[in-house]
Amino acid sequence: MSAEKMEFKAELKQVMEIIVHSLYSHKEIFLRELISNAADAIGKIRFDALTDAELAEGDTDFQIKIIPDAAAKTLTISDNGCGMSRETLINDLGTIARSGTKAFLEKMKQAKSENVDLIGQFGVGFYSAFMVADKVEVVTRAPRQTAATKWTSAGEDSFTVEAAERDKRGTTIVLHLRDDESEFAETWRLRSLVQKFSDFIEYPVVLVTDEKKRDKDGKETDEIEHKEDIVNSRQAIWLRAKSEVKDEEYAEFYKHISHDFDAPLKTIPYAAEGAQEFKALMFVPARRPSDFFMREQRRGLQLYVNRVFIAEECDKLLPPYFSFVRGVVDSSDLPLNVSREMLQEDRQLHKIRKALVSRLFATFKEMLEKEHATYLKFWEQFGVMLKSGLMGDFENRESILDLLLYPSTRASEENKLVTLAQYVEAMPAGQEEIYYMIAENRPMVENSPYMEYFRERGYEVLIMTDPVDETVVAATPEYQGKKLKAIDRGELAAKDETPAAEKEQREKDHQDLLAFIKETLGDEIAETRLSARLKSSPLCLIGEEGQIGAQMERLLRELGQAAPERKLVLEINPDHAAIAALRSKLSADKNAATEDLRLLFDGAVIASGGKIKDPAAFLQRAAKLVAGA
């Protein structure tokens, strides 16, 4: 049978185009990607053979061979993993573009040219071979099959597939190196790359060389010596004592499992002893990965049982809000033949998860207290994830709340952030609640009429500008026994120090004005009342307790969703000159008073972060006022 020619899926053509023509640095990562694929393939057959021993066909001496040939300018990477059937081969290396492929292309368009780490992140690692090779051949054979298949491509638009021979199950990849990439056929270069990137790979990475023997004086002879060296130490880094591992080693391991190019922000080795015995090694990345907000991002930790790899992304080990944490867990309590389905409900796993979660919380808390600068970096990248955890995880609510940071009206420096605990600690005598305001930005809070009351009393107000803050407060009725309260919603439970008689008189004096306001604004407000909170502003709009805020309302509208109707209470300041003027105008000229009221009301809507109905009319009224008409 002759070779059949096939076209790459359109997206893959573009991937190849980018790989071949725009990535110039860090080309060496192709080796890491191919070794990692080989290790995955071995892990797969090894795992499947746990339940079906015959599948391994007696070939359980698992290894990955690296065979350079400087004369032929080739590099061969061979494994005895699960191999691929003809159909899988065609699908996986050519015709099916996975969701990551499109995302990769989009990211590459945005990213600064040299972002090779995206290759691994988006699952297009195999194609990185074309950074160094102008032709790649793959010969592969699946278990229980006698036929093998050969795939060949020069990395442009197409590839060919034909029948081939391979004496056993597994995959062999031959890279025909580009002229200027011959260094990847050099033994020393390959050795150092394997040590750097793949030292901890569980299976032996064997460097196979046929080199001319040297005589006593170091001169080459004609005799060829065949050597097979295991290059990687295969030490499971997570089993080693923390004191014995160098930071760089941790960092390399992190880069290997995360496909990140930067060192982690925090490394968290963990050896649990006692009832639950397991070892874990967790990492907090320094930055959000580029696919962070995509649904199909990689998440979860790798799971091992007694050093045998079980699952790549075990999302049962951590709650979704910790999905940014990378790492491995190695347990000696789980059965080795645990199936993927069993993992779903295993009780042991649940206990491990609990221990990991509390370890993470303890780490973050310590970081917050002792490594504040590092914590701020962490917060900037992943704070939003912690906040999202408040919605589902009631058990850990306090722990999450302890980690939140907010700017506040008290903090003199613009960007200083406070914890809720610091806020509570600084509350002056007489303050019973934690005050906050959700707004677009800091000045909108600081200059809002709502602030007057709080500023006067020296009460700090937390400034919340993140869209998820609305859900944070909805999920947090109180912290340390103190209720959270929006300063622009609900009636103030403040002590009104005005004597009763005086209050009554004031109500009476303003009866007509309040009736007029209600009549004029009608449905636009829920009610109107005299304010206990205003000092220098004439009036303001207050939401009802438990209602969504203006910020959320706008967000919902922008998303094209129906926002629940928000009825606001209009509070007026009887001590303000504008309100006094409105009152006297009302008895003289009701039409003029109506115009003035609309002008003031629109101003209050704007100050509350809302949108006014008729901005043109607002401008006309303001213009008239300025003209003195």
Among 124, 139, 190, 310, binds ligand ADP (CB under 6 A): 124
Alpha-carbon gap, residue 599 to 312, rounded angstroms: 62
Select the span of 33-41, 311-319, 320-328, 354-362 touching ligand ADP (CB under 6 A): 33-41
Residue with structure tokens 């793949």?
A: 198
Among 84, 97, 317, 540, binds ligand ADP (CB under 6 A): 84
User: Does the protein bind ligand ADP through residue 37 (CB under 6 A)?
Assistant: yes
φ, ψ of residue 396 to 5 degrees: the values are -105, 15
Output 79 or 452, the one with its CB closest to ligand ADP.
Answer: 79
Alpha-carbon gap, residue 270 to 278, rounded angstroms: 8
Max distance between CA atoms of the chain, in angstroms, equals 118
Cα 177 from chain centroid (whole Å): 37
What is the dihedral sign for C-alpha 463, 466, 467, 471?
Answer: negative
**How would you list the strands of the sheet with 301-305, edge to edge?**
266-272, 278-284, 326-331, 301-305, 308-314
Output 85 or 396, the one with its CB closest to ligand ADP.
Answer: 85
Output 96 or 494, the one with its CB closest to ligand ADP.
Answer: 96
Among 41, 136, 438, 517, binds ligand ADP (CB under 6 A): 41
User: Does the protein bind ligand ADP through residue 302 (CB under 6 A)?
Assistant: no
User: Does the protein bind ligand ADP through residue 268 (CB under 6 A)?
Assistant: no
Residue partners of 117: CB distance under 8 A and separation at least 6: 29, 259, 260, 261
**Is-contact 424 401, C-beta < 8 A?**
no
**Is-contact 578 584, C-beta < 8 A?**
no
Using CB under 6 A, count the residues that bind ligand ADP.
17
Output 39 or 597, the one with its CB closest to ligand ADP.
Answer: 39
Kindly state the smallest distance separating residue 268's Cβ from ligand ADP, in Å.
Answer: 25
Residue ranges of alpha helices (H) inside 215-334 are 247-258
Select the span of 34-42, 155-163, 507-515, 533-541 touching ligand ADP (CB under 6 A): 34-42
Kindly state the smallest distance separating residue 191's Cβ from ligand ADP, in Å.
Answer: 21
User: Does the protein bind ligand ADP through residue 487 (CB under 6 A)?
Assistant: no
Instruction: Give, as ranges, the residues between 505 and 564 that touch ligand ADP (CB under 6 A).
Output: none
User: Does the protein bind ligand ADP through residue 82 (CB under 6 A)?
Assistant: yes
Kindly state the smallest distance separating residue 285's Cβ from ligand ADP, in Å.
Answer: 18
Kindly state the smallest distance separating residue 2's Cβ from ligand ADP, in Å.
Answer: 24
Question: Which amino acid would we find at residue 545?
Answer: E
List the beta bridge partners of residue 417. 407
Select the span of 118-126, 178-186, 336-344, 433-441 touching ligand ADP (CB under 6 A): 118-126
Beta strand 158-164 with 205-214: parallel, antiparallel or unpaired? unpaired
Residue partners of 31: CB distance under 8 A and separation at least 6: 66, 77, 184, 190, 193, 194, 197, 198
Instruction: Give, as ranges, the residues between 91 and 110 that touch ligand ADP (CB under 6 A).
Output: 92-93
Alpha-carbon gap, residue 209 to 68, rounded angstroms: 7
Instruction: Give, as ranges, the residues between 555 and 574 that touch ligand ADP (CB under 6 A).
Output: none
User: Does the protein bind ligand ADP through residue 48 (CB under 6 A)?
Assistant: no
Instruction: Give, as ranges, the residues between 154 and 183 that touch ligand ADP (CB under 6 A).
Output: 171
Output 23 or 539, the one with its CB closest to ligand ADP.
Answer: 23
Among 9, 126, 535, 594, binds ligand ADP (CB under 6 A): 126
User: Does the protein bind ligand ADP through residue 79 (CB under 6 A)?
Assistant: yes
Alpha-carbon gap, residue 212 to 224, rounded angstroms: 4
Output 41 or 517, the one with its CB closest to ligand ADP.
Answer: 41
Output 124 or 360, the one with its CB closest to ligand ADP.
Answer: 124
Between the alpha carbon of residue 93 and those of residues 6, 125, 151, the distances in Å are: 11, 11, 9
Select the span of 80-88, 104-112, 197-205, 586-594 touching ligand ADP (CB under 6 A): 80-88
Alpha-carbon gap, residue 394 to 316, rounded angstroms: 17
Q: Which residues bind ligand ADP (CB under 6 A)?
A: 33, 37-38, 41, 79, 81-84, 92-93, 123-127, 171
